[in-house]
Structure 1
Protein backbone atom coordinates (compact mmCIF):
# COMPACT_ATOMS: atom_id res chain seq x y z
CA UNK A 1 0.00 0.00 0.00
CA UNK A 2 2.71 2.45 0.96
CA UNK A 3 4.43 1.89 -2.32
CA UNK A 4 1.50 3.25 -4.22
CA UNK A 5 0.86 6.51 -2.52
CA UNK A 6 3.84 8.12 -4.09
CA UNK A 7 1.90 8.22 -7.30
CA UNK A 8 0.10 11.20 -5.86
CA UNK A 9 3.26 12.91 -5.09
CA UNK A 10 3.61 13.00 -8.73
CA UNK A 11 0.20 13.64 -10.14
CA UNK A 12 -1.88 16.65 -11.04
CA UNK A 13 -2.91 19.95 -12.55
CA UNK A 14 -6.38 20.58 -11.18
CA UNK A 15 -8.72 23.57 -10.85
CA UNK A 16 -8.78 24.66 -7.23
CA UNK A 17 -8.27 27.76 -5.11
CA UNK A 18 -5.02 29.69 -5.03
CA UNK A 19 -2.57 30.48 -2.23
CA UNK A 20 0.79 32.22 -2.53
CA UNK A 21 3.95 30.17 -1.98
CA UNK A 22 7.55 30.69 -3.02
CA UNK A 23 8.33 29.05 -6.36
CA UNK A 24 11.77 27.60 -6.94
CA UNK A 25 13.77 27.12 -10.09
CA UNK A 26 13.82 23.32 -10.00
CA UNK A 27 13.25 20.90 -12.88
CA UNK A 28 11.65 17.45 -12.67
CA UNK A 29 12.87 14.29 -14.43
CA UNK A 30 11.51 10.73 -14.41
CA UNK A 31 14.07 8.07 -15.30
CA UNK A 32 16.36 10.83 -16.62
CA UNK A 33 13.66 12.26 -18.93
CA UNK A 34 12.57 15.89 -18.33
CA UNK A 35 8.91 16.34 -17.43
CA UNK A 36 7.16 19.19 -19.22
CA UNK A 37 5.06 21.25 -16.79
CA UNK A 38 3.78 24.80 -16.58
CA UNK A 39 3.84 24.52 -12.77
CA UNK A 40 7.31 24.50 -11.17
CA UNK A 41 7.96 23.00 -7.73
CA UNK A 42 7.27 25.28 -4.78
CA UNK A 43 8.90 25.77 -1.38
CA UNK A 44 6.71 25.76 1.75
CA UNK A 45 7.47 25.24 5.46
CA UNK A 46 10.95 23.95 4.71
CA UNK A 47 9.64 21.41 2.19
CA UNK A 48 9.81 21.21 -1.60
CA UNK A 49 6.40 20.38 -3.08
CA UNK A 50 5.77 19.11 -6.60
CA UNK A 51 2.71 19.37 -8.90
CA UNK A 52 0.71 16.17 -8.95
CA UNK A 53 -0.47 15.80 -12.55
CA UNK A 54 2.84 16.57 -14.21
CA UNK A 55 4.55 13.58 -12.64
CA UNK A 56 1.58 11.23 -12.60
CA UNK A 57 1.17 11.37 -16.36
CA UNK A 58 4.83 10.46 -16.75
CA UNK A 59 4.25 7.43 -14.47
CA UNK A 60 1.07 6.29 -16.19
CA UNK A 61 -1.37 7.04 -13.36
CA UNK A 62 -4.97 8.16 -13.91
CA UNK A 63 -6.22 11.24 -12.04
CA UNK A 64 -9.77 12.45 -11.29
CA UNK A 65 -10.74 15.71 -9.61
CA UNK A 66 -13.84 16.25 -7.44
CA UNK A 67 -14.45 20.01 -7.37
CA UNK A 68 -17.16 19.70 -4.70
CA UNK A 69 -14.79 18.20 -2.14
CA UNK A 70 -11.45 19.55 -3.47
CA UNK A 71 -10.28 15.93 -3.66
CA UNK A 72 -7.84 14.28 -6.07
CA UNK A 73 -8.31 10.56 -6.79
CA UNK A 74 -5.27 8.81 -8.24
CA UNK A 75 -5.43 5.28 -9.66
CA UNK A 76 -2.53 3.15 -10.76
CA UNK A 77 -2.64 -0.63 -11.03
CA UNK A 78 -5.10 -1.86 -8.36
CA UNK A 79 -4.24 0.90 -5.92
CA UNK A 80 -6.20 4.07 -5.24
CA UNK A 81 -5.17 7.18 -3.33
CA UNK A 82 -7.30 10.16 -2.35
CA UNK A 83 -5.87 13.56 -1.46
CA UNK A 84 -7.89 16.55 -0.25
CA UNK A 85 -6.62 20.11 -0.44
CA UNK A 86 -5.80 21.42 3.03
CA UNK A 87 -5.51 17.98 4.63
CA UNK A 88 -2.29 16.49 5.95
CA UNK A 89 -3.29 12.87 5.24
CA UNK A 90 -3.92 10.70 2.18
CA UNK A 91 -6.54 7.93 2.09
CA UNK A 92 -5.33 4.74 0.41
CA UNK A 93 -6.73 1.43 -0.78
CA UNK A 94 -4.72 -1.47 -2.20
CA UNK A 95 -6.35 -4.60 -3.63
CA UNK A 96 -4.27 -7.79 -3.56
CA UNK A 97 -4.70 -11.37 -4.69
CA UNK A 98 -5.82 -12.66 -1.31
CA UNK A 99 -6.22 -9.50 0.73
CA UNK A 100 -6.91 -5.79 0.59
CA UNK A 101 -5.79 -2.94 2.79
CA UNK A 102 -6.73 0.67 3.36
CA UNK A 103 -5.94 3.49 5.72
CA UNK A 104 -4.65 7.04 6.13
CA UNK A 105 -1.06 8.07 5.44
CA UNK A 106 0.38 11.19 7.06
CA UNK A 107 2.07 13.89 4.96
CA UNK A 108 4.85 16.28 6.04
CA UNK A 109 2.68 19.28 5.15
CA UNK A 110 -0.92 19.63 3.96
CA UNK A 111 -1.86 19.23 0.30
CA UNK A 112 -1.59 22.66 -1.34
CA UNK A 113 -3.54 24.49 -4.04
CA UNK A 114 -1.34 27.03 -5.81
CA UNK A 115 -2.28 28.83 -9.04
CA UNK A 116 -4.93 26.23 -9.92
CA UNK A 117 -2.51 23.35 -9.35
CA UNK A 118 -2.37 20.72 -6.60
CA UNK A 119 0.96 20.13 -4.85
CA UNK A 120 2.21 17.45 -2.45
CA UNK A 121 5.52 17.05 -0.59
CA UNK A 122 8.45 15.76 -2.60
CA UNK A 123 9.21 13.09 0.04
CA UNK A 124 5.75 11.62 -0.59
CA UNK A 125 6.91 10.45 -4.01
CA UNK A 126 9.92 8.45 -2.91
CA UNK A 127 8.59 6.93 0.29
CA UNK A 128 5.11 5.92 -0.85
CA UNK A 129 5.51 4.80 -4.44
CA UNK A 130 8.84 3.07 -4.39
CA UNK A 131 10.89 5.34 -6.65
CA UNK A 132 14.12 6.89 -5.50
CA UNK A 133 14.27 10.68 -5.53
CA UNK A 134 17.53 12.55 -5.75
CA UNK A 135 18.72 16.12 -6.22
CA UNK A 136 20.75 16.43 -9.40
CA UNK A 137 21.87 19.84 -10.66
CA UNK A 138 18.88 21.66 -9.16
CA UNK A 139 16.55 18.97 -10.50
CA UNK A 140 14.14 16.60 -8.76
CA UNK A 141 15.30 13.30 -10.27
CA UNK A 142 12.81 10.44 -9.87
CA UNK A 143 14.73 7.24 -10.51
CA UNK A 144 14.26 3.46 -10.64
CA UNK A 145 13.48 1.72 -7.32
CA UNK A 146 16.33 -0.67 -8.09
CA UNK A 147 20.02 0.00 -7.66
CA UNK A 148 22.42 -0.69 -10.53
CA UNK A 149 23.53 -3.85 -8.73
CA UNK A 150 19.94 -5.06 -8.33
CA UNK A 151 19.14 -4.33 -11.96
CA UNK A 152 22.21 -6.24 -13.13
CA UNK A 153 21.26 -9.24 -10.98
CA UNK A 154 17.66 -9.16 -12.16
CA UNK A 155 18.11 -8.52 -15.88
CA UNK A 156 21.47 -10.00 -16.87
CA UNK A 157 22.64 -12.10 -13.95
CA UNK A 158 22.62 -15.82 -13.32
CA UNK A 159 19.28 -17.30 -14.42
CA UNK A 160 18.68 -19.28 -11.23
CA UNK A 161 19.48 -16.27 -9.04
CA UNK A 162 17.16 -14.04 -11.09
CA UNK A 163 14.30 -16.53 -10.80
CA UNK A 164 14.78 -16.72 -7.06
CA UNK A 165 14.64 -12.91 -6.89
CA UNK A 166 11.36 -12.67 -8.80
CA UNK A 167 9.76 -15.47 -6.78
CA UNK A 168 10.41 -13.46 -3.62
CA UNK A 169 9.15 -10.29 -5.32
CA UNK A 170 5.89 -12.04 -6.21
CA UNK A 171 5.09 -12.46 -2.52
CA UNK A 172 6.44 -9.12 -1.32
CA UNK A 173 6.05 -6.44 -3.95
CA UNK A 174 3.84 -7.31 -6.94
CA UNK A 175 1.26 -4.94 -8.42
CA UNK A 176 -1.95 -5.83 -10.29
CA UNK A 177 -2.96 -4.31 -13.59
CA UNK A 178 -6.58 -5.43 -13.09
CA UNK A 179 -8.75 -6.01 -10.04
CA UNK A 180 -7.17 -9.14 -8.52
CA UNK A 181 -8.98 -12.47 -8.50
CA UNK A 182 -9.18 -14.22 -5.14
CA UNK A 183 -7.73 -17.65 -4.44
CA UNK A 184 -10.32 -19.26 -2.17
CA UNK A 185 -8.38 -22.39 -1.11
CA UNK A 186 -11.64 -24.33 -1.10
CA UNK A 187 -9.79 -27.62 -0.63
CA UNK A 188 -7.15 -26.26 1.79
CA UNK A 189 -4.55 -26.38 -0.96
CA UNK A 190 -1.88 -23.79 -0.14
CA UNK A 191 0.55 -24.71 -2.90
CA UNK A 192 2.22 -22.23 -5.24
CA UNK A 193 3.77 -23.26 -8.55
CA UNK A 194 6.03 -21.00 -10.63
CA UNK A 195 6.20 -21.64 -14.39
CA UNK A 196 8.94 -19.85 -16.35
CA UNK A 197 9.26 -19.91 -20.14
CA UNK A 198 12.47 -21.75 -20.93
CA UNK A 199 15.46 -19.37 -20.68
CA UNK A 200 13.50 -16.55 -19.02
CA UNK A 201 13.00 -15.00 -15.57
CA UNK A 202 11.24 -11.69 -16.31
CA UNK A 203 7.85 -13.17 -17.16
CA UNK A 204 6.17 -16.20 -15.63
CA UNK A 205 2.95 -17.85 -14.52
CA UNK A 206 1.99 -18.83 -11.01
CA UNK A 207 -0.68 -21.32 -9.98
CA UNK A 208 -1.98 -20.91 -6.44
CA UNK A 209 -4.09 -23.46 -4.60
CA UNK A 210 -4.51 -25.41 -7.84
CA UNK A 211 -7.28 -22.93 -8.72
CA UNK A 212 -5.89 -19.49 -9.71
CA UNK A 213 -3.43 -18.75 -12.50
CA UNK A 214 -1.58 -15.41 -12.68
CA UNK A 215 0.79 -14.06 -15.33
CA UNK A 216 3.52 -11.63 -14.20
CA UNK A 217 5.83 -9.38 -16.20
CA UNK A 218 8.50 -6.86 -15.26
CA UNK A 219 7.55 -3.36 -16.40
CA UNK A 220 9.90 -0.42 -15.79
CA UNK A 221 11.56 -2.28 -12.89
CA UNK A 222 8.23 -3.19 -11.23
CA UNK A 223 6.72 -6.69 -11.10
CA UNK A 224 3.15 -6.48 -12.44
CA UNK A 225 0.41 -9.12 -12.67
CA UNK A 226 -1.07 -8.45 -16.10
CA UNK A 227 -3.49 -11.38 -16.36
CA UNK A 228 -5.38 -13.80 -14.10
CA UNK A 229 -7.93 -16.60 -14.38
CA UNK A 230 -9.65 -19.27 -12.34
CA UNK A 231 -9.56 -22.83 -13.61
CA UNK A 232 -12.78 -24.29 -14.97
CA UNK A 233 -13.47 -26.73 -12.14
CA UNK A 234 -11.17 -28.22 -9.52
CA UNK A 235 -10.64 -31.64 -11.06
CA UNK A 236 -7.61 -32.29 -13.24
CA UNK A 237 -3.99 -31.29 -13.46
CA UNK A 238 -3.62 -27.51 -13.24
CA UNK A 239 -0.64 -27.46 -15.64
CA UNK A 240 -2.71 -29.20 -18.30
CA UNK A 241 -5.73 -26.97 -17.66
CA UNK A 242 -3.55 -23.89 -18.21
CA UNK A 243 -2.08 -25.23 -21.45
CA UNK A 244 -5.54 -26.18 -22.74
CA UNK A 245 -7.02 -22.84 -21.57
CA UNK A 246 -9.79 -24.51 -19.58
CA UNK A 247 -10.29 -21.31 -17.65
CA UNK A 248 -12.96 -18.89 -16.44
CA UNK A 249 -13.12 -15.40 -14.92
CA UNK A 250 -10.23 -14.17 -17.04
CA UNK A 251 -8.97 -10.61 -16.79
CA UNK A 252 -8.05 -10.45 -20.47
CA UNK A 253 -6.73 -12.62 -23.30
CA UNK A 254 -4.65 -15.56 -22.07
CA UNK A 255 -0.91 -14.97 -22.70
CA UNK A 256 0.48 -17.19 -25.41
CA UNK A 257 2.57 -20.11 -24.18
CA UNK A 258 5.19 -20.51 -26.91
CA UNK A 259 7.99 -22.29 -25.03
CA UNK A 260 8.36 -25.25 -22.68
CA UNK A 261 7.82 -24.17 -19.08
CA UNK A 262 10.33 -24.75 -16.31
CA UNK A 263 8.44 -25.23 -13.05
CA UNK A 264 9.11 -25.15 -9.34
CA UNK A 265 6.31 -25.74 -6.83
CA UNK A 266 5.93 -25.90 -3.07
CA UNK A 267 2.90 -26.92 -1.05
CA UNK A 268 2.29 -26.81 2.70
CA UNK A 269 -0.21 -28.85 4.71
CA UNK A 270 0.09 -28.71 8.49
CA UNK A 271 3.67 -29.59 9.47
CA UNK A 272 4.46 -31.18 6.10
CA UNK A 273 5.63 -29.67 2.83
CA UNK A 274 6.23 -30.92 -0.70
CA UNK A 275 8.57 -29.41 -3.29
CA UNK A 276 8.85 -30.35 -6.97
CA UNK A 277 10.73 -29.07 -10.00
CA UNK A 278 10.86 -30.05 -13.64
CA UNK A 279 9.81 -29.23 -17.21
CA UNK A 280 6.42 -28.99 -18.93
CA UNK A 281 6.51 -29.51 -22.69
CA UNK A 282 4.21 -27.72 -25.12
CA UNK A 283 2.42 -31.06 -25.45
CA UNK A 284 1.63 -30.99 -21.74
CA UNK A 285 4.08 -33.73 -20.80
CA UNK A 286 5.53 -33.17 -17.33
CA UNK A 287 9.08 -34.29 -16.62
CA UNK A 288 9.86 -34.17 -12.90
CA UNK A 289 13.53 -33.57 -12.10
CA UNK A 290 13.42 -33.07 -8.33
CA UNK A 291 11.07 -34.01 -5.48
CA UNK A 292 11.18 -33.70 -1.70
CA UNK A 293 8.59 -34.36 1.00
CA UNK A 294 9.20 -33.11 4.54
CA UNK A 295 7.29 -33.80 7.74
CA UNK A 296 8.10 -31.99 10.98
CA UNK A 297 11.32 -30.65 9.49
CA UNK A 298 12.60 -34.10 8.45
CA UNK A 299 12.80 -35.35 4.86
CA UNK A 300 10.66 -38.46 4.47
CA UNK A 301 10.92 -38.93 0.70
CA UNK A 302 13.03 -37.42 -2.08
CA UNK A 303 14.32 -38.02 -5.57
CA UNK A 304 16.46 -36.18 -8.11
CA UNK A 305 17.58 -32.60 -7.51
CA UNK A 306 15.37 -29.62 -6.76
CA UNK A 307 16.32 -26.71 -9.02
CA UNK A 308 14.71 -23.65 -10.63
CA UNK A 309 16.65 -24.15 -13.88
CA UNK A 310 17.11 -26.99 -16.31
CA UNK A 311 20.50 -28.55 -17.11
CA UNK A 312 22.36 -26.41 -19.66
CA UNK A 313 19.49 -23.89 -19.80
CA UNK A 314 20.60 -20.68 -21.56
CA UNK A 315 19.12 -17.32 -20.59
CA UNK A 316 17.20 -15.65 -23.42
CA UNK A 317 14.71 -12.98 -22.34
CA UNK A 318 11.95 -11.46 -24.47
CA UNK A 319 10.78 -8.81 -21.98
CA UNK A 320 12.48 -5.48 -22.85
CA UNK A 321 15.01 -4.30 -20.29
CA UNK A 322 14.25 -0.66 -19.36
CA UNK A 323 16.98 1.93 -19.65
CA UNK A 324 18.12 3.80 -16.56
Structure 2
Protein backbone atom coordinates (compact mmCIF):
# COMPACT_ATOMS: atom_id res chain seq x y z
CA UNK A 1 0.00 0.00 0.00
CA UNK A 2 1.31 3.45 -0.91
CA UNK A 3 2.65 5.31 2.12
CA UNK A 4 1.29 8.85 2.34
CA UNK A 5 3.21 11.73 3.90
CA UNK A 6 1.69 12.89 7.17
CA UNK A 7 0.27 16.36 7.60
CA UNK A 8 -1.30 18.18 10.53
CA UNK A 9 -4.74 18.05 12.06
CA UNK A 10 -7.14 19.95 9.81
CA UNK A 11 -8.02 22.10 12.82
CA UNK A 12 -4.43 23.30 13.02
CA UNK A 13 -4.54 24.21 9.34
CA UNK A 14 -7.79 26.06 9.97
CA UNK A 15 -6.18 28.17 12.70
CA UNK A 16 -3.03 28.88 10.69
CA UNK A 17 -5.00 29.82 7.58
CA UNK A 18 -7.38 32.07 9.50
CA UNK A 19 -4.41 33.79 11.13
CA UNK A 20 -2.83 34.45 7.73
CA UNK A 21 -6.07 35.89 6.39
CA UNK A 22 -6.57 38.03 9.51
CA UNK A 23 -3.28 39.85 8.88
CA UNK A 24 -4.60 41.18 5.59
CA UNK A 25 -8.26 41.50 6.53
CA UNK A 26 -8.98 43.22 9.84
CA UNK A 27 -12.68 42.45 9.42
CA UNK A 28 -12.01 38.78 10.09
CA UNK A 29 -13.19 37.72 13.53
CA UNK A 30 -13.12 34.39 15.36
CA UNK A 31 -15.97 33.99 17.83
CA UNK A 32 -15.55 31.14 20.31
CA UNK A 33 -17.58 29.44 23.03
CA UNK A 34 -14.75 28.67 25.46
CA UNK A 35 -13.28 26.69 22.58
CA UNK A 36 -10.12 28.51 21.52
CA UNK A 37 -8.02 25.68 22.98
CA UNK A 38 -9.90 22.79 21.42
CA UNK A 39 -10.23 24.83 18.22
CA UNK A 40 -6.42 25.32 18.07
CA UNK A 41 -6.95 29.07 18.16
CA UNK A 42 -4.58 29.97 21.01
CA UNK A 43 -1.80 31.08 18.59
CA UNK A 44 -4.39 33.03 16.59
CA UNK A 45 -5.64 34.79 19.74
CA UNK A 46 -2.09 35.71 20.77
CA UNK A 47 -1.37 37.19 17.35
CA UNK A 48 -4.78 38.83 16.82
CA UNK A 49 -6.16 39.71 20.27
CA UNK A 50 -8.48 42.34 18.76
CA UNK A 51 -9.94 39.87 16.28
CA UNK A 52 -11.33 37.24 18.60
CA UNK A 53 -14.51 37.35 20.71
CA UNK A 54 -15.13 34.94 23.59
CA UNK A 55 -18.75 34.38 24.60
CA UNK A 56 -18.19 31.52 27.04
CA UNK A 57 -20.08 28.23 27.07
CA UNK A 58 -23.16 29.73 25.42
CA UNK A 59 -23.53 28.33 21.93
CA UNK A 60 -26.82 30.05 21.18
CA UNK A 61 -25.24 33.40 22.04
CA UNK A 62 -22.24 32.44 19.92
CA UNK A 63 -24.37 32.13 16.79
CA UNK A 64 -26.51 35.18 17.52
CA UNK A 65 -23.48 37.37 18.20
CA UNK A 66 -21.75 36.06 15.08
CA UNK A 67 -24.79 36.86 12.94
CA UNK A 68 -24.94 40.37 14.40
CA UNK A 69 -21.25 40.99 13.69
CA UNK A 70 -21.64 39.66 10.14
CA UNK A 71 -24.50 42.09 9.56
CA UNK A 72 -22.05 44.95 10.19
CA UNK A 73 -19.65 43.73 7.50
CA UNK A 74 -17.39 41.53 9.59
CA UNK A 75 -16.12 38.21 8.22
CA UNK A 76 -17.04 35.91 11.09
CA UNK A 77 -15.91 32.38 11.93
CA UNK A 78 -18.04 30.96 14.75
CA UNK A 79 -16.10 28.11 16.38
CA UNK A 80 -17.63 25.53 18.69
CA UNK A 81 -17.80 21.74 19.12
CA UNK A 82 -19.93 20.43 16.26
CA UNK A 83 -22.18 18.42 18.56
CA UNK A 84 -23.32 21.59 20.37
CA UNK A 85 -23.11 24.07 17.50
CA UNK A 86 -25.69 22.18 15.44
CA UNK A 87 -27.96 21.08 18.28
CA UNK A 88 -28.12 23.61 21.11
CA UNK A 89 -28.02 26.56 18.74
CA UNK A 90 -29.92 25.07 15.81
CA UNK A 91 -32.68 27.67 15.95
CA UNK A 92 -30.12 30.49 15.84
CA UNK A 93 -28.35 28.81 12.92
CA UNK A 94 -31.68 28.58 11.09
CA UNK A 95 -33.12 32.02 11.82
CA UNK A 96 -30.15 34.30 12.55
CA UNK A 97 -27.71 32.91 9.99
CA UNK A 98 -29.33 30.91 7.20
CA UNK A 99 -32.76 32.54 6.83
CA UNK A 100 -31.33 36.00 7.56
CA UNK A 101 -28.59 35.40 4.98
CA UNK A 102 -25.70 36.42 7.21
CA UNK A 103 -22.41 35.13 5.74
CA UNK A 104 -21.18 33.43 8.91
CA UNK A 105 -18.77 30.50 8.66
CA UNK A 106 -19.94 28.04 11.31
CA UNK A 107 -16.96 25.88 12.22
CA UNK A 108 -17.86 22.63 13.95
CA UNK A 109 -14.79 21.24 15.68
CA UNK A 110 -14.13 17.69 16.95
CA UNK A 111 -16.90 16.56 14.59
CA UNK A 112 -18.31 13.11 13.96
CA UNK A 113 -17.04 10.72 16.61
CA UNK A 114 -13.77 12.58 17.25
CA UNK A 115 -14.67 12.91 20.93
CA UNK A 116 -15.01 9.12 20.91
CA UNK A 117 -15.14 7.83 24.46
CA UNK A 118 -17.10 10.86 25.72
CA UNK A 119 -20.12 9.17 24.17
CA UNK A 120 -23.30 10.20 22.42
CA UNK A 121 -23.57 13.64 24.06
CA UNK A 122 -20.36 14.63 22.28
CA UNK A 123 -20.86 12.83 18.97
CA UNK A 124 -22.09 14.91 16.03
CA UNK A 125 -23.55 12.33 13.68
CA UNK A 126 -26.69 14.38 13.06
CA UNK A 127 -25.37 17.71 11.79
CA UNK A 128 -25.31 17.08 8.06
CA UNK A 129 -28.81 15.58 8.12
CA UNK A 130 -30.21 18.58 9.99
CA UNK A 131 -28.48 21.25 7.93
CA UNK A 132 -29.24 19.57 4.59
CA UNK A 133 -32.90 20.41 5.22
CA UNK A 134 -32.12 24.07 5.83
CA UNK A 135 -32.26 26.59 3.02
CA UNK A 136 -29.28 28.84 2.27
CA UNK A 137 -26.34 27.13 3.98
CA UNK A 138 -23.48 25.18 2.40
CA UNK A 139 -21.95 22.14 4.12
CA UNK A 140 -18.22 21.47 3.68
CA UNK A 141 -16.26 18.56 5.19
CA UNK A 142 -12.55 18.72 4.27
CA UNK A 143 -10.65 15.44 3.90
CA UNK A 144 -7.08 16.66 4.35
CA UNK A 145 -4.91 19.73 4.92
CA UNK A 146 -5.25 20.95 1.33
CA UNK A 147 -9.04 20.91 1.45
CA UNK A 148 -9.05 22.40 4.97
CA UNK A 149 -6.99 25.40 3.90
CA UNK A 150 -8.93 25.96 0.70
CA UNK A 151 -12.27 25.66 2.51
CA UNK A 152 -11.33 28.45 4.95
CA UNK A 153 -10.13 30.70 2.14
CA UNK A 154 -13.37 30.05 0.25
CA UNK A 155 -15.47 30.69 3.36
CA UNK A 156 -13.72 34.03 3.96
CA UNK A 157 -14.61 35.07 0.42
CA UNK A 158 -18.16 33.67 0.46
CA UNK A 159 -21.19 35.91 0.67
CA UNK A 160 -23.46 33.22 2.12
CA UNK A 161 -23.55 31.01 5.24
CA UNK A 162 -21.40 27.89 5.35
CA UNK A 163 -20.93 25.08 7.85
CA UNK A 164 -17.44 23.51 7.95
CA UNK A 165 -16.70 20.49 10.13
CA UNK A 166 -13.31 19.27 11.29
CA UNK A 167 -12.07 16.22 13.17
CA UNK A 168 -9.15 16.14 15.57
CA UNK A 169 -6.49 13.80 14.25
CA UNK A 170 -3.54 14.52 11.97
CA UNK A 171 -4.31 13.69 8.36
CA UNK A 172 -1.96 12.55 5.60
CA UNK A 173 -1.65 14.42 2.32
CA UNK A 174 -3.96 12.69 -0.14
CA UNK A 175 -3.19 12.48 -3.84
CA UNK A 176 -5.75 13.98 -6.16
CA UNK A 177 -6.44 14.15 -9.87
CA UNK A 178 -7.78 17.71 -9.88
CA UNK A 179 -5.73 20.21 -7.89
CA UNK A 180 -8.35 22.93 -7.61
CA UNK A 181 -10.85 23.40 -4.79
CA UNK A 182 -14.27 24.91 -5.16
CA UNK A 183 -17.27 24.67 -2.88
CA UNK A 184 -19.82 22.47 -4.64
CA UNK A 185 -17.26 20.63 -6.81
CA UNK A 186 -16.00 17.22 -5.74
CA UNK A 187 -12.33 16.22 -5.87
CA UNK A 188 -11.20 12.98 -7.52
CA UNK A 189 -8.50 11.31 -5.43
CA UNK A 190 -7.92 8.39 -7.79
CA UNK A 191 -9.74 6.97 -10.81
CA UNK A 192 -11.17 3.50 -11.40
CA UNK A 193 -13.85 1.55 -13.24
CA UNK A 194 -15.03 -1.27 -10.94
CA UNK A 195 -16.03 0.36 -7.67
CA UNK A 196 -16.74 3.98 -6.80
CA UNK A 197 -16.05 5.12 -3.24
CA UNK A 198 -17.77 8.44 -2.58
CA UNK A 199 -16.62 9.69 0.82
CA UNK A 200 -16.28 12.89 2.82
CA UNK A 201 -14.08 14.22 5.61
CA UNK A 202 -11.80 11.86 7.49
CA UNK A 203 -13.43 8.80 5.88
CA UNK A 204 -11.80 9.63 2.55
CA UNK A 205 -8.53 8.21 3.90
CA UNK A 206 -9.85 4.69 4.66
CA UNK A 207 -11.70 4.78 1.33
CA UNK A 208 -8.40 5.51 -0.42
CA UNK A 209 -6.64 2.77 1.54
CA UNK A 210 -9.42 0.35 0.56
CA UNK A 211 -8.94 1.36 -3.07
CA UNK A 212 -5.25 0.52 -2.79
CA UNK A 213 -6.06 -2.90 -1.35
CA UNK A 214 -8.52 -3.59 -4.14
CA UNK A 215 -6.08 -2.41 -6.79
CA UNK A 216 -3.55 -4.95 -5.50
CA UNK A 217 -6.17 -7.62 -6.27
CA UNK A 218 -6.78 -6.35 -9.77
CA UNK A 219 -9.97 -4.46 -8.86
CA UNK A 220 -10.06 -0.91 -10.18
CA UNK A 221 -11.37 1.51 -7.53
CA UNK A 222 -12.22 5.18 -7.79
CA UNK A 223 -12.26 7.52 -4.79
CA UNK A 224 -14.22 10.79 -4.80
CA UNK A 225 -13.73 13.30 -1.98
CA UNK A 226 -17.21 14.80 -1.75
CA UNK A 227 -15.97 17.64 0.46
CA UNK A 228 -19.15 19.62 -0.22
CA UNK A 229 -22.23 17.68 0.81
CA UNK A 230 -24.46 20.68 0.09
CA UNK A 231 -24.65 21.71 -2.68
CA UNK A 232 -23.77 18.19 -3.85
CA UNK A 233 -21.77 17.76 -7.04
CA UNK A 234 -24.43 15.83 -8.94
CA UNK A 235 -22.35 15.66 -12.12
CA UNK A 236 -19.43 14.00 -10.29
CA UNK A 237 -21.75 11.44 -8.68
CA UNK A 238 -23.35 10.51 -12.01
CA UNK A 239 -20.07 10.37 -13.92
CA UNK A 240 -18.50 8.01 -11.39
CA UNK A 241 -21.61 5.88 -10.88
CA UNK A 242 -22.24 5.38 -14.59
CA UNK A 243 -18.77 4.03 -15.32
CA UNK A 244 -18.35 1.87 -12.20
CA UNK A 245 -20.05 -1.46 -11.43
CA UNK A 246 -20.95 -0.60 -7.83
CA UNK A 247 -21.03 2.40 -5.48
CA UNK A 248 -20.05 2.70 -1.81
CA UNK A 249 -20.65 5.90 0.14
CA UNK A 250 -18.62 6.46 3.31
CA UNK A 251 -19.26 9.02 6.03
CA UNK A 252 -18.59 9.74 9.71
CA UNK A 253 -22.26 10.43 10.23
CA UNK A 254 -25.57 8.69 10.62
CA UNK A 255 -26.57 6.84 7.47
CA UNK A 256 -29.94 8.59 7.89
CA UNK A 257 -29.94 11.95 6.14
CA UNK A 258 -26.27 12.22 5.27
CA UNK A 259 -24.04 11.89 2.22
CA UNK A 260 -25.19 8.37 1.39
CA UNK A 261 -28.86 9.28 1.24
CA UNK A 262 -28.06 12.33 -0.88
CA UNK A 263 -26.16 10.15 -3.37
CA UNK A 264 -28.89 7.47 -3.31
CA UNK A 265 -31.51 10.09 -4.19
CA UNK A 266 -29.52 11.19 -7.23
CA UNK A 267 -28.98 7.63 -8.44
CA UNK A 268 -32.65 6.72 -8.02
CA UNK A 269 -33.87 9.87 -9.74
CA UNK A 270 -31.59 9.15 -12.70
CA UNK A 271 -32.63 5.44 -12.78
CA UNK A 272 -29.10 4.19 -12.10
CA UNK A 273 -29.71 0.82 -10.46
CA UNK A 274 -26.36 -0.65 -9.48
CA UNK A 275 -25.18 -2.45 -6.31
CA UNK A 276 -24.98 0.28 -3.70
CA UNK A 277 -24.02 0.44 -0.01
CA UNK A 278 -24.17 3.23 2.55
CA UNK A 279 -21.39 2.93 5.12
CA UNK A 280 -21.61 5.11 8.22
CA UNK A 281 -23.16 5.07 11.68
CA UNK A 282 -26.36 2.97 11.74
CA UNK A 283 -29.50 3.74 13.71
CA UNK A 284 -28.65 1.84 16.89
CA UNK A 285 -27.38 2.36 20.43
CA UNK A 286 -24.26 4.51 20.54
CA UNK A 287 -20.88 2.82 20.58
CA UNK A 288 -18.32 4.54 22.82
CA UNK A 289 -14.61 4.36 22.14
CA UNK A 290 -11.90 6.14 20.21
CA UNK A 291 -12.62 7.28 16.68
CA UNK A 292 -10.47 4.42 15.39
CA UNK A 293 -12.31 1.86 17.48
CA UNK A 294 -15.69 3.14 16.30
CA UNK A 295 -14.52 3.15 12.68
CA UNK A 296 -13.31 -0.43 13.02
CA UNK A 297 -16.58 -1.49 14.65
CA UNK A 298 -18.56 -0.26 11.65
CA UNK A 299 -16.11 -1.34 8.97
CA UNK A 300 -14.97 2.18 8.15
CA UNK A 301 -11.41 1.02 7.52
CA UNK A 302 -9.41 -0.27 4.57
CA UNK A 303 -10.22 -3.94 5.09
CA UNK A 304 -13.88 -3.39 5.88
CA UNK A 305 -14.53 -1.12 2.92
CA UNK A 306 -12.63 -3.42 0.54
CA UNK A 307 -14.76 -6.36 1.71
CA UNK A 308 -17.93 -4.31 1.25
CA UNK A 309 -16.90 -3.50 -2.32
CA UNK A 310 -16.02 -7.11 -3.11
CA UNK A 311 -19.40 -8.32 -1.85
CA UNK A 312 -21.18 -5.78 -4.03
CA UNK A 313 -19.13 -6.80 -7.09
CA UNK A 314 -20.00 -10.43 -6.49
CA UNK A 315 -23.74 -9.73 -6.78
TM-score normalised to structure 2 length: 0.26
Greater relative contact order structure (CA < 8 Å, 6+ sep): 2
More helix by share: 2
More strand by share: 1
Higher alpha-carbon Rg: 1
